Amino acid sequence: MTAVQVTLKLFATLQDYLPLEAKKTNALALELEAGTTVQQVIERFGLPQKLCHLVLIDGAFIPPAARATRALQAGETLAIWPPIAGG
Amino acid sequence: MAWTRKILRVDLNNGTCKSEPLNMEWAQQYLGQRGLATKYFISEVDPKVDPLSPDNKLIMTTGPLTGTPASTGGRYSVITKGALTGAIACSNSGGYFGAELKFAGWDMIIFEGKSAKPVYLAIENDKAELKDAAHLWGKTVWQTEEIIKKSHQDPQTRVCSIGRAGENGVMYACIVNDLHRAAGRSGVGTVMGSKNLKAVAVRGTQGVSIMKDAKAFMSAATAAKKVLAENAVTGQGLPTYGTQVLMNVINEMGALPTRNHRDSQFEDARKISAEAMIEKRPSDGKSHLVTNAACFGCTIACGRISRIDETHFSVVNKPEYWGASGGLEYEAAWALGAANGVGDLEALQYANLICNEDGFDPISFGATVGAAMELYELGILTEKIIGMEAPFGSAKALCDLAQMTARGEGFGKELGLGSARLCEKYGKPELSMGVKKQEFPAYDSRGIQGMGLAYATSNRGACHLRGYTVASEVLGIPVKTDPLVTEGKADLVKAFQDATAVFDSAGVCIFTTFAWTLADLQPQLAAACEGDWTMEKLAAMGERIWNMERQFNNAAGFTAKDDDLPPRLKTEPVKTGPAKGLVSGIDKMLPEYYQARGWDANGVPSKETLKRLGL
């Protein structure tokens, strides 16, 4: 199976799920099997579903219904936030 | 009745203070705070008035829920004709001042005229008098508050004041209360300074106990607090990370205006984010963030209290800045940071401290520095003119320019003009990033299309707090919409603007709307205020307030041409990120918005619209 290189970014309280060194940048380089979906990455890192509120791939919003089918492509960045707001 | 039914009218020409009854008929139409005080303002002030003339008035106003046990019920607003914009100004602040004013028994204070010499207003319950402020003139906000509290021998006195920025005519001067909460935008502090009014000190011991139905109110307020507590945003996200958590979100979306909107992603965004605020610094092993903080009655507590690195170049010999103080919030961190390419968190904190200390808006200041840095990079402003090198990214220039602006020194005087007047002066008006002479906040209109329309049509000039469609376009509150398209944004913006006008008139914080809808606010108002406060009445009132403000601006001389964005946002596509290749669709959205509002093609409310709204 071909592997793809992607970047996982976890922010706010979700950064606790990153390895210590990756917390400094909120980013972790990942090598995934081709076809790995957003949902599979969420599960691999043990991220609580209810905290995966804002999910972006290369800055574009991924609706909850698409997470189980949206496979990550080589070079993409998956970024996830818990419920947050500002202004 | 959550209103005290009393107005304090202060004639600065003659030095008199008079009590008069609140117009309860108007209260039924405009509720309080933003709506009701704007009604008073436009009824008494010529729209063509020079904002800095004695004929302009300035109103400090509470809402019916200010000072009550309603969550976030500590808000007050300042209404005037904005010095920066020449448009209606309504700047809202938290802290404790608003509640104290209510406790003293006043719904609002109307200041008119101009004092011949510096004065401050001292209020102790029913007693109000103007006092000499010669010893306060030239003092900072922080010094003023300390001196007044000592002289009144009452540490529970609440103070709002202008700093040296308001005295020196910085066009975006704030009125700061409780050291680091501010009625921040549009130059309301500049107007206060023009009246030789340095401060208002208030002490109230009467409470706000008279409710239409106290038992029903407590029940409604408790239920609404439960909604805030159980909502993941208001119960956890905001108190833990504050507003600054948006920095990485907006940057990833490619909508973080960078270097005067030349770029839409900032390479150092993470360094100035909420995540960076909680990291331990190598220099002293302490995190920047000390704790979160709440305003009066607030059960969210989004405020940030931080401590600057004592070894940072900006404060290494200034121990007066080493203590914990307010900031950074998202808007200030963006304007002082990404807007001018500075990724030094400590430098941003220093500049923010100076803005708080001497009372000027960090959004307008930071964005004006960004415009100046672009003029410098273009060779139009020089090292000789500015007094230093000032390329994008210079933390040193940011810190020095903040100090110079606060003191009215050198090029700081020109920065105090704001970006529109500065860029006009140097022949590049198109480089001012704002609407109606007020600088944009922290969202790029090309990457979040609805915000472009919200900026263009905001009645107080470019502003995120008049219609925060970011909630929907980015955060999915109440429903997720696509930030990259223009379709549906006219109705979305109108809905946010009208609902915001209601919350701004009630005495509560707009951040409640991350969890509340009007349906959460309505039972509290219905129980607190006499009259029949239905959802329909509130919705109509929000639209009425918006149109009333619009009518004032139209009469002041604003036209549809002023509902526009700078050419950069309409002609220069975004270079990176998901919005790459996009420009703002403002020209498509604006006619749709006018239609949704019931306005003609010139942005003038139709007779039918005015009649429907009772205007």
Distance (Å, whole) CA B138 – CA B135: 8
- For chain B, which residues make up each domain, given as ranges? 6-203, 247-439, 449-613
| Run of H or E residues at B310 | none
pLDDT above 90 as % of chain B: 99
Task: Encode pLDDT of B501-520 as tens digits.
Answer: 999 999 999 999 999 999 99
Complex-level ipTM: 0.97
User: Which of A8, A10, A11 is the best mutation test for B, with the most CBs of B within 10 A?
Assistant: A11
The CA-CA-CA angle for residues B516, B445, B512, to 5°, reads 10
Confidence band of A70 (pLDDT split at 50, 70, 90): very high
Question: pLDDT at residue B466 above 60?
Answer: yes
CATH of domain B449-613: 1.10.599.10
Contact B275 A60 (CB under 8 A): no
Structural fold of domain A3-81: Ubiquitin-like (UB roll) (3.10.20)
Question: pLDDT at residue B3 above 60?
Answer: yes
* Chain B contact present for A46, CB below 8 A: no
Task: Encode pLDDT of B243-285 as tens digits.
Answer: 999 999 999 999 999 999 999 999 999 999 999 999 999 999 9
Chain B residues with CB-CB distance to A15 below 8 A: 275
Question: pLDDT at residue A86 above 90?
Answer: no
Region B431-457: mean pLDDT is 98
Region B177-195: mean pLDDT is 98
Question: pLDDT at residue B212 above 60?
Answer: yes
Q: Decide: B589 and B457 in contact? Cβ < 8 Å.
A: no
* Chain A contact present for B254, CB below 8 A: yes
SS3 of B52-111: CCCCCCEEEEECCCCCCCCCCCCCEEEEEECCCCCCEEEEEECCCHHHHHHHCCCCEEEE
Confidence (pLDDT) at A1: 65
| Pairing assessment for the beta strands B76-81 and A27-33 based on DSSP bridges | unpaired
User: Which of B227, B249, B464 is the best mutation test for A, with the most CBs of A within 10 A?
Assistant: B249
Confidence (pLDDT) at B468: 97
Domain B6-203, CATH 3.60.9.10 — does that match?
yes
Confidence (pLDDT) at B474: 96
Closest C-alpha to B19, from B106, B123, B102 = B106
Chain A residues with CB-CB distance to B468 below 8 A: 87
Chain A residues with CB-CB distance to B233 below 8 A: 83-85
Confidence band of B607 (pLDDT split at 50, 70, 90): very high
Confidence (pLDDT) at B208: 86
Which residues 5-34 of A have a C-beta within 8 angstroms of B? 9, 11-13, 15, 24-26
Distance (Å, whole) CA A50 – CA A71: 21
Q: Which of A58, A81, A86 sits opposite B578 (nearest CB)?
A: A58
What does each C-alpha distance from B348 to B306, B330, B331, B333, B445 come to in angstroms? 12, 11, 11, 6, 24
Residues B601-613 as b/e (b if ≥16 CB within 10 A, e otherwise) read: eebbbeeebbeeb
Task: Encode pLDDT of B412-439 as tens digits.
Answer: 999 999 999 999 999 999 999 999 999 9
Four-residue CA torsion sign, B190, B193, B194, B195: positive
What does each C-alpha distance from B321 to B142, B149, B282, B309 come to in angstroms? 11, 20, 20, 10
Chain A residues with CB-CB distance to B464 below 8 A: 87
What does each C-alpha distance from B11 to B54, B119, B191, B387 come to in angstroms? 10, 12, 15, 42
* Chain A contact present for B13, CB below 8 A: no
Contact A56 B511 (CB under 8 A): no
Chains A, B: CB contacts within 8 A come to 92
Task: Encode pLDDT of B15-37 as tens digits.
Answer: 999 999 999 999 999 999 999 99
* Chain A contact present for B267, CB below 8 A: no
Question: pLDDT at residue B1 above 60?
Answer: no
Domain B247-439, CATH 1.10.569.10 — does that match?
yes
Question: pLDDT at residue B490 above 60?
Answer: yes
C-alpha A10: how far from chain center: 7
List the beta bridge partners of residue B567.
none
Contact A81 B245 (CB under 8 A): yes
Q: Decide: B98 and B67 in contact? Cβ < 8 Å.
A: yes
Closest C-alpha to B343, from B414, B464, B256 = B256
Question: pLDDT at residue B59 above 90?
Answer: yes
Distance (Å, whole) CA B489 – CA B449: 8
State the smallest CA–CA distance between residue B536 and chain A in angstroms: 27
Contact A87 B470 (CB under 8 A): yes
Across chain B, what does the average pLDDT equal?
97
Confidence (pLDDT) at A2: 86
Confidence band of B544 (pLDDT split at 50, 70, 90): very high
Question: pLDDT at residue B375 above 70?
Answer: yes
Q: Decide: B121 and B158 in contact? Cβ < 8 Å.
A: no
Contact B330 A58 (CB under 8 A): no
Question: pLDDT at residue A87 above 90?
Answer: no
DSSP 3-state of A30: strand
* Chain A contact present for B429, CB below 8 A: no
DSSP 3-state of B203: strand
Confidence (pLDDT) at B588: 98
